[in-house]
Amino acid sequence: MLDYAVKTRFGLARPRFSRPRRRARFVSSPFIDAPRLTTATGEHSMTKKVYVKTFGCQMNEYDSDKMVDVLGASEGLVKTDNPEDADVILFNTCSVREKAQEKVFSDLGRVRELKEANPNLLIGVGGCVASQEGASIVSRAPYVDLVFGPQTLHRLPQMIDQRRASGRPQVDITFPEIEKFDHLPPARVEGPSAFVSIMEGCSKYCSYCVVPYTRGEEVSRPLDDVLTEIAGLADQGVREVTLLGQNVNAYRGAMTPGSNEIADFATLIEYVADIPGIERIRYTTSHPKEFTQRLIDTYAKVPKLVNHLHLPVQHGSDRILMAMKRGYTVLEYKSVIRRLRAIRPDLSLSTDMIVGFPGETEEDFDKMMQLVHEMSYDTSFSFIYSPRPGTPAANLHDDTPREVKLRRLQYLQATIEENVQRISEAMVGKVERILVERPARKDPNELAGRTENNRVVNFPAPVESHARLIGQMIDVKIVHAYPHSLRGELVMVHDTASATH
């Protein structure tokens, strides 16, 4: 019998994108029969609301959306942007840097007054800080009701029920494989772009990073499971998906339910490109060690894969990369980029960089700057090294003064900003295809879209045309480059009912 991949690829069977059957212990869904939130008198409230504040990466943004989906399906909660209106306040946290972690406790202190004014208010801490700190969060902030990790957010309705029944804070930071995806309601989206998590965790164990300890080992969702979610998003009008994972290109998902055949990341991309309605594919975050030739070749095969890549290098010195336990050399990193740009000469490249890692010398930093000039980075998320408790690097001797680290960081960021502006100015006068995402933030008479190289373009459009244009692929002529956005003029709408303007 031909397998699913062969039958679908050659048109011998229609893509079903059916959710695979999983082991019996994953069958029931906690949001189906969970009790609804009640007031102190036990009566149902009409419009309960949930406020979620997100720290950190796109994975956390995705998880925050899922928290809202779960509580919407189980409790009828609706999202609010004002914590003072909320019946449930959740903080989805990041522990990659110390500053982000301390910000969580600062924000918790601000909502303490809301809890004192409304004892029925529920306050929860999720994400990586929750996974790392566990019950100690309640010890430090005893007004917190719920502590849950990235892998247990689907249990929120049960935790809320137990908190109401027992009167005691609930803590669940276990790693139940990838169970949460079996218990999440269908995604609800607003707008033409969406995040889709395809795997969880990290097995690289870089010496400075807490992610393997807070999110667990790498576990990939089955191919069919991912395609089901994306097909559902396309039915809601999504045109662009961003595939998410701590090391997204390490994806190795079961091809079909019960099959031992494994789909790699390149295969997944090819199937996503076949889903009707999906016009653009992005992904983040990738790891240089997992960048196979098959994935590189996909850039030639799949035009829907955008000309933008976020590939963290972390440093430009082999000595520092070895101390970081990154698993590649600068030459190997450059080889990946060289082969990619042989296929896509206009590929836009962004990266992550850590300045001031223990033992970093001026020579090491000079090598980092040399790499920056060679790669022509279009964006960089760069920070001073922040030691995280429990990681091997936290025990390394660090004798570089803070002011030296700050000087290096400022120089690095200024250099990359100059390159970003140079690339933006080179786009002026060119026609770029963008996906129209939303009204412009500063002018309601304008719309905003995004180019393939991930730049926001604002352009004037009559208000009466907004509903028609949002979600469309259009051509705009770039007329001005600002530090963090572009300005364009509408040229053409690419749609079956499009007209040239």
Cα–Cα dist 179/182, whole Å: 6
Q: Can you tell me the distance from the alpha carbon of 87 to that of 37, in angstroms, rounded to the nearest whole number?
A: 9
202 is in an annotated binding site: yes
**Do the annotations mark residue 82 as ligand-binding?**
no
| 209 annotated to a ligand binding site | yes
Strand 456-460 relative to strand 122-126: parallel, antiparallel, unpaired? unpaired
- According to DSSP, the residues that pair with 354 across neighbouring strands are 383
Tokens of 56: 């950190």
- Coil, helix or strand at residue 441: coil
Nearest to 226 by CA among 264, 189, 197, 185: 197
Listed in order, strand segments (DSSP E) in 181-250 are 193-197, 199-200, 219-220, 240-244
The answer on whether 57 is annotated among ligand-binding residues is yes
Cα 428 to its chain centre, rounded Å, is 30
Strand partners, 126: 92
Copy the structure tokens of residue 66.
């899922």
Structure tokens at 209: 């990073």
Query: Using the 8-state DSSP alphabet, how is residue 38 labeled?
Result: B
Q: Has 301 been labeled as part of a binding site?
A: no
Distances (CA, A) of 347 to 289, 351, 391, 447, 452: 19, 13, 34, 26, 9
Nearest in space to 321 (alpha carbons), one of 284, 285, 288, 362: 288
Integer angstrom CA distances of residue 330 from 313, 326, 399: 8, 11, 25
Contact call for residues 241 and 193 (beta carbons, < 8 A)? yes
Query: What element of type H or E holds 50?
Result: strand 49-54
Q: Any alpha helices (H) in 344-472, and if so which ranges?
A: 362-375, 402-427, 466-469
- No. of H helices and E strands in the chain? 15, 21
- For the chain, how big is the Rg over CA atoms in Å? 24
Contact between residue 89 and residue 114 where contact means Cβ atoms under 8 Å apart: yes
CA distance 167 to 318: 54
User: Shortest CA distance to 101 belongs to which of 132, 146, 138, 142?
Assistant: 132
Cα dihedral value 163, 169, 174, 176, nearest 10: 10
Q: Is 206 known to sit in a ligand binding site? A: yes
Nearest to 298 by CA among 251, 352, 333: 251
Q: Which two tokens stand for residue 170?
A: 């609930």
**Residue numbers belonging to the annotated binding site:** 57, 94, 128, 202, 206, 209
**Residue numbers belonging to the annotated binding site for [4Fe-4S] cluster:** 57, 94, 128, 202, 206, 209
